[in-house]
Amino acid sequence: MTDQPLRQRDGDQALPVAGRERVTDALIEDLRARTALGIQRYGRPLETFNGRDALKDALEECLDLAQYLKQALMERDALTADARLAAADALAQAVAEAWADAERMIGMDQHEPHAYAVDGRVVQVMFDALDAYRDATATGEVGS
């Protein structure tokens, strides 16, 4: 930790907040485990002048890393999209249930004009949301 004031430059991410685990400590443990694996596989730890081209090895490892990073980003984005769809489905279900309650409370037909007050709330939003959900379901944008 430092006693100097923290500075942020234009375009930087927000300064970090207190976290749970120290990354460097975990990385040191990973390096120790990796060294042990190298000794198990090759009979010795990674050493200089070992007859291999370290730059070529490093480049190949970086290419693998780039693929793993891209995979993780793609999977994270897909999970985020799935979560958004699940939230949209849950919201649409809640709107549909609220709409059914509103219909029962005021005895209205779905084809009547879309602005009625129910318990002081305007159900226009429910109509619009339900219509949007039905449209999205019909086009396959949201699961039914």
Provide the CA 127 distance to its chain's centre, in angstroms: 30
4 compared with 89, residue with greater pLDDT: 89
Residue 90 has pLDDT above 60, yes or no: yes
Per the rule left: phi > 0, alpha: psi between -120 and 50, beta: everything else, 49 is left
Give the pLDDT of residue 108.
56
Q: Kindly report the average pLDDT of the chain as a whole number.
A: 79
- Cβ contact 100:138 at 8 Å: no
Give the pLDDT of residue 113.
46
- Cβ contact 89:143 at 8 Å: yes
pTM: 0.48
**Percent of the residues in the chain that have a pLDDT greater than 70, as a whole number:** 67
